[in-house]
Amino acid sequence: MNIPLIGFGTYDIPRKNTERCVRQAIELGYRLIDTAQMYNNEAETGVAVRECGIKREELFVQTKLSSPCRTVQAAVDSFHQSFDRMKLDYIDLMLIHWPQGGETETWKALEQIQRVGLVKHIGVSNFYPGKWGELCQSVNVKPCLNQIECNVFYQQRPMREYMAKADCMVQAWQPLGEGARKIFSNETIREIGSAHRKTAAQVALRFLVQQGISVIPRSQNPEHMKENIDILDFVLTEDEMNKIRALDTGHSQYGWPSDAWRY
Ligand code: NAD
């Protein structure tokens, strides 16, 4: 699977701004766009992808099923709602947004849809070992990617090791922690940034990308969009990586870990 390491997230971008933001992101060089049924902006994301002037095969578009589907047919129908809204010939990656019951049926539906070519790849989000293990017992195609909360303050080391053993790519949602925990003014991150003439946001994203984790930061501000993709021209030293590793609290900012591991 050839998935770009840096993508553009669209959570909480209002419908009226989505087409502009996604087009701007693509103009600035983003090639991966992440949306979801739940973000209520799949249609506008589809317009931007169709009309941006970049060849479809150069873009990687992913969305997520969020309605709980108890039957294969319900999941097929739910997929087609996204597909009809986005009006693309195919979707690059379809994820189950989170485990909420009916995962096996939903997965069967995604496998069927992948076989007919409407979706190229299938994966999951917020699946922790319990649910991951359950799902993988009965699949024909293993999920190729797991999108999970991951940032400098919640580095998800055990989970990343688990996914590496399962040969599954990790993609970080909220790679900037949604700006919480004073990430942009953190002294360690800022100091490391000054040594490279980079901002705290760039260091926080670089830290993940340098470990092979895909990131999908969101912004409606073109300066920030530009900043967030401009992270491939510097390398954090091992000493800098270790300083950032030491910022890990081991906790989700939503208090999710214990629940999540029980999923
Ligand atoms: P994020 O970590 O990308 O942070 C976004 C916040 O940081 C916004 O307030 C933005 O204005 C600000 N920001 C962005 N770049 C900045 C910069 N350079 N300098 C200063 N401020 C900056 O949070 P997010 O959008 O919630 O997460 C990223 C994406 O992950 C989402 O848009 C969505 O696509 C996905 N996501 C998925 C799930 C899931 O359950 N699968 C959950 C949350 C988010």
Q: What is the pLDDT of residues 94-144, one digit of tens each?
A: 999 999 889 999 999 999 999 999 999 999 999 999 999 999 998 999 999
- Name the pLDDT band for 233 (thresholds 50, 70, 90): very high
Nearest CA, atom 37, ligand 1: 173
- Name the pLDDT band for 195 (thresholds 50, 70, 90): very high
Ligand 1 center to 34 CA (angstroms): 11
The yes-or-no verdict on residue 261 having pLDDT over 80 is: no
177 lines ligand 1 (CB under 6 A): yes
More confident residue, 260 or 34: 34
% of the chain surpassing 70 pLDDT: 97
Ligand 1 center to 190 CA (angstroms): 19
Of 17, 150, 178, 226, the residue with max ligand 1 atoms within 8 A of its CB, to mutate for a pocket test, comes to 178
- Name the pLDDT band for 235 (thresholds 50, 70, 90): very high
pLDDT at 209: 98
Identify the active-site residue in 11, 30, 39, 90: 39
The yes-or-no verdict on residue 200 having pLDDT over 90 is: yes
Nearest CA, atom 16, ligand 1: 224
Mean pLDDT computed over 151-156: 97
Q: Indicate yes or no: pTM above 0.95.
A: yes
- The question of whether 128 is a catalytic residue gets the answer no
- Name the pLDDT band for 254 (thresholds 50, 70, 90): confident
Considering only the C-alpha atoms of the chain, give the largest distance between any 2 of them, rounded to a whole number of Å: 55
pLDDT at 126: 94
37 lines ligand 1 (CB under 6 A): no
- Name the pLDDT band for 259 (thresholds 50, 70, 90): low
pLDDT at 68: 80
Q: What is the spatial distance between Cα 21 and Cα 129, in angstroms, rounded to a whole number?
A: 35
pLDDT at 135: 95
Query: What are φ and ψ of residue 171, in 5° steps?
Result: -120, 135
pLDDT at 255: 76
Mean pLDDT computed over 33-51: 98
Nearest CA, atom 4, ligand 1: 178
